[in-house]
Structure 1
Amino acid sequence: MSRSLRLDPVLIQAVIAGALSFAHLHDLAAAAGQDGWKAWAYPVSVDLLLVAAWRRMRTDTENRDAWLWFAIALVASLGANVATAGLLDLTDVPPWLRILVAGWPALAFLGGTLLAHAPAPAVEPDHSEQPQVEPTPDVTVEREPEPAAELPPADPAPASEPPQAALTTPAVSVPPALLDHAQKIANAHQAQTGAPIDTATLRSRLGVTPALADAIALQLA
């Protein structure tokens, strides 16, 4: 699909102004004794220095060297425009102007080299971006079983029950999870002290009632 070509007045004006400045610089260089291809190289050198300084100024507005070289190239371009406007006899160029024209290549080379190798401006970190936080791994925490709630005291054993049956049968029912936990505590106590755990220590470790501690001690015996 073909695109319609639209002429930009600003671009046309820039091309015309650049061509006129280019011609004035060429005429001045030729009048100062730079004939042949050298006269055409002078306007190219001035325009390239202008562009290099302008690009450096756009990326680093606080670079004083870029402003200085931009001003030097601009003065050279404006000076050629004014000199060729009839204020200077191009058939009899003064010696000081010949010296300036002859020394311009070295000056332009120095400016272009400094602009090309100038350090890039430091980029400040963007504080608006939130730092990425790595997700914490899932950690499984084993919780000890909570102490069993106090249970109402069991009914006393009947008088006709033999004493041995009352000692071997626990008066309070012990949950299996609590019994397993008590067994771990008893094993650890015996491994540390070398003696079986007593009822008082077991009761303080589990935080249960005396009746429930007695029932657990009986099942652990």
Structure 2
Amino acid sequence: MTRPALRVDAVLVQAVIAGALSFAHLHDLAAAAGQDGWKAWAYPISVDLLLVAAWRRLRTDGPSRLAWSWFLIALVASLGANVATAGLLDLNDVPAWLSILVAAWPALAFMGGTLLAHSPADRSSAPPAPATPDPDPVPEVEPEPAAVAEPDPLPEPVVVPEPEETPALPTAEPAPVAPVPAALVDHAHKVADDHHARTGSPIDTDTLRARLGVPPHLADAIAAQLA
């Protein structure tokens, strides 16, 4: 079995060259702003890692304000270093505001990386429960016209005996309430708290049933546990 020959991808080579040049420009700008030694080499790594983290968040979780904001911040930092080292600024006499920005970058990059890594995505926490289908409508049956019958002869009067007292029937006990899953009760608590925070009043049974998408008897059982 022969192995395929090593192929050089022109796009990959271009990416390596562009990354190396951008890395060198960021290092030169950080060194000119007073960050000497290993600190000047850490700045390009910090900018590139923030750029990659924001792009990965956009690819995995979809577009969001958080990911786009930090992607643009890292991109401006990288492009700004490239433009500044191209002769726009005198690297032997860096202005004070640029030194302040370079010195504040580590805290800014740490905050951006932490938000990108630990902020939840903008997605719904739980899918809504499927609504119960409506029962098929019962077809209406038109009543047949009553047949004209001949009048019956008058019956003889019948003496009706007085009814005897019958014992009172025992009252039926209410049907037991169906058990409600604990996960559904926890979700109902969150929905009720959110409704109370937005409107200032406790949630009613109809609104709770509509938000959860459950049958009426199950909504009553959940409302009884939330009371």
TM-score if structure 2 supplies the norm length?
A: 0.53
Counterpart CA distance in 2 for 1:44 and 1:15 is: 14
Q: Which runs of 4+ in 1 moved over 6 A?
A: 123-126
Deviations 1:126-168 (A, max 9, x none): 9xxxxxxxxxxxxxxxxxxxxxxxxxxxxxxxxxxxxxxxxxx
Partner of 2:86: 85
Partner of 1:49: 50
Partner of 1:73: 74
Partner of 1:28: 29
Answer yes or no: is 1:117 the counterpart of 2:90.
Answer: no
Instruction: Give runs of aligned pairs for residues 123-134 of structure 1, distance below 5 A.
Output: none
Cα RMSD, aligned residues only: 1.9
Shift of 1:4: 1.1
Counterpart CA distance in 1 for 2:122 and 2:95 is: 43
Secondary structure at the residue paired with 1:97? helix
Secondary structure at the residue paired with 1:116? helix
Secondary structure at the residue paired with 2:25? helix
The unaligned stretches of length 5 or more in structure 2 are: 128-227
Shift of 1:60: 2.3
Shift of 1:120: 3.7
Letter in 2 for 1:104: W
Q: Percent identity?
A: 79
Partner of 2:165: none
Counterpart CA distance in 2 for 1:22 and 1:32 is: 16
Counterpart CA distance in 1 for 2:25 and 2:51 is: 16
Number of aligned positions between the proteins = 126
Counterpart CA distance in 2 for 1:125 and 1:115 is: 22
Shift of 1:123: 7.7
User: CA 1:21–1:123 in structure 2 vs 1: closer, same or farther (change >3 Å)?
Assistant: same
Shift of 1:2: 3.4
The unaligned stretches of length 5 or more in structure 1 are: 127-221
TM-score if structure 1 supplies the norm length?
A: 0.54
Instruction: Give runs of aligned pairs for residues 208-219 of structure 1, distance below 5 A.
Output: none
User: CA 1:106–1:124 in structure 2 vs 1: closer, same or farther (change >3 Å)?
Assistant: closer
Larger Rg: 1
Partner of 1:204: none
Counterpart CA distance in 1 for 2:4 and 2:44 is: 34
Secondary structure at the residue paired with 2:79? helix
User: CA 1:4–1:28 in structure 2 vs 1: closer, same or farther (change >3 Å)?
Assistant: same
User: CA 1:96–1:115 in structure 2 vs 1: closer, same or farther (change >3 Å)?
Assistant: same
Instruction: Give runs of aligned pairs for residues 1-221 of structure 1, distance below 5 A.
Output: 1-120=2-121, 122=123
Deviations 1:157-190 (A, max 9, x none): xxxxxxxxxxxxxxxxxxxxxxxxxxxxxxxxxx
Partner of 2:222: none
Secondary structure at the residue paired with 1:35? coil
